[in-house]
Amino acid sequence: MTEPFIDIDAIFNLALQETEELMKLGFDISDPSVMTSLEWYSNKYPEIAERCNNALLNLIHKQATGTLTFANTGYSENDLDAF
């Protein structure tokens, strides 16, 4: 029995796109409770694990450096009432 053809590049590109969407929606992709598509496909297809892990680390770094600009915008105890 032959195995079906799996387009690894397409799977990686889809996982990357879905993970970037999570970032745009405001999810912290470095949070251990968040399972990104890159992590899921990395576990499912070991052939692309290293590629997925490197891409995830780059996106986490990108997200961390992008949100630092908002970190010092000001904080007040009065702001907690909005929650």
How confident is the model over 26-48, as pLDDT tens digits? 999 999 999 999 999 999 999 99
CA atoms within 13 A on the CB side of 68: 6
* Residue 26: C-alpha distances to residues 20, 21, 40, 53, 83 (Å): 10, 9, 19, 20, 17
Q: What ranges do the domains of the chain cover?
A: 8-67
Higher pLDDT, 13 or 78: 13
Check residue 75 and give its pLDDT. 47
User: How many Cβ atoms sit within 10 Å of the Cβ of residue 72?
Assistant: 7
